[in-house]
């Protein structure tokens, strides 16, 4: 993988890692090459849209969502509507648009038509923290079971871990147990101005 990241249909993982490390342009380059070589691979198309939705302009992301030739994988009609509302809110910055997008995202999650992970990221991006944490209120280890926990710390997710409600989520998903087993604090604990003390918060979830 390190030598030939595009040698098999797993380059989407590499692209996501690049996006998470603050290299969106390189991520787009990798995922577009991956789509060229593996256009049939659902997770490649899914990753391409996710990268677009959170790192590109709303117009570019909307074009990816509506690409009839290579649409994102298996989105339901409700998901498409929710993503369109999210991208419109990102583009306009209007409170009314953010309200509508948040409502559509909430409903789509409640009806189990969208992953909690993606809804959480979208709601954090819109600065709707109450809605974001409500979307994952019942989530446990399954929230990070498939794709790992790195997405929680992607660029743009700072508001999520600055919120004290992050710690109950970290406990439910097993992150606190992981940090305690390794005897480390998460990297973000070195961030100045956090509204809590990491060691104190971790101690609450022994």
Residues 31 and 51 in one domain: yes
Cα–Cα distance between 7 and 2 in angstroms, integer? 10
Asked if pLDDT for residue 147 goes beyond 80, the answer is no
The more confident residue out of 28 and 9 is 28
The per-residue pLDDT of the chain, averaged, comes to: 85
Q: Which of 115, 138, 161 is the last residue of a domain?
A: 138
Q: Which of 27, 57, 74 is the last residue of a domain?
A: 74
Residues 154 and 199 in one domain: yes
Residues 53 and 115 in one domain: no
Residues 68 and 1 in one domain: yes
Domain range for 181: 139-206
DSSP-derived secondary structure letter, 157: -
Residues 43 and 87 in one domain: no
Q: Which of 51, 74, 97 is the last residue of a domain?
A: 74
Q: In b/e form, how buried is each residue of 130-167, taking b as 16+ CB within 10 angstroms?
A: ebbbbbbeebeeebbeeeeeebbebeebeebbebebbb
Q: What is the mean pLDDT of residues 128-132?
A: 96
Predicted confidence at residue 204, as pLDDT, reads 92
Residues 153 and 120 in one domain: no
Residues 84 and 99 in one domain: yes
Residues 12 and 56 in one domain: yes
CA angle at residue 44 from 136 to 53, to 5 degrees? 55
The more confident residue out of 67 and 127 is 127
Residues 100 and 110 in one domain: yes
pTM listed for this prediction: 0.83
Asked if pLDDT for residue 143 goes beyond 80, the answer is no
Q: Describe the crossing of helices 11-20 and 42-55 by its angle, rounded to 10 degrees.
A: 10
pLDDT tier, 131 (very low <50, low <70, confident <90, very high otherwise) = very high
Predicted confidence at residue 195, as pLDDT, reads 95
Asked if pLDDT for residue 34 goes beyond 60, the answer is yes
Residues 176 and 201 in one domain: yes
Could you read off the pLDDT of 101-120 as tens digits, one per residue?
Answer: 999 999 999 888 888 888 99
User: How many distinct structural domains can be found in the chain?
Assistant: 3
Could you read off the pLDDT of 156-178 as tens digits, one per residue?
Answer: 899 999 999 999 999 888 899 99
Residues 106 and 161 in one domain: no
Residues 40 and 103 in one domain: no
């Amino acid at each position: 993988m390190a030598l030939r990241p595009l040698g098999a249909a797993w380059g989407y993982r590499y692209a996501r890692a690049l996006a998470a490390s603050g290299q969106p342009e390189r991520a787009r380059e990798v995922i577009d090459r991956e789509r060229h070589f593996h256009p049939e691979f659902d997770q490649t198309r899914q990753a391409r849209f996710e990268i677009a939705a959170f790192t590109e302009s709303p117009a570019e992301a909307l074009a990816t969502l509506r690409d009839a030739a290579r649409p994102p994988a298996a989105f339901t009609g409700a998901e498409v509507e929710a993503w369109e509302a999210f991208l419109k809110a990102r583009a306009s910055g209007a409170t009314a648009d953010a309200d509508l997008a948040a409502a559509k995202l909430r409903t789509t999650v409640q009806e189990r038509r969208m992953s909690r992970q993606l809804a959480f990221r979208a709601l954090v991006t819109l600065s709707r923290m109450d809605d974001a944490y409500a979307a994952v209120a019942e989530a446990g280890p399954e929230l990070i079971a498939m794709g790992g926990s790195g997405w929680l710390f992607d660029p743009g997710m700072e508001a999520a871990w600055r919120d004290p409600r992050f710690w109950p989520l970290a406990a439910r998903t097993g992150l606190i147990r992981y940090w305690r087993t390794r005897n480390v604090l998460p990297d973000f604990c070195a961030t100045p101005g956090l509204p809590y003390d990491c060691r104190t918060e971790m101690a609450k979830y022994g």
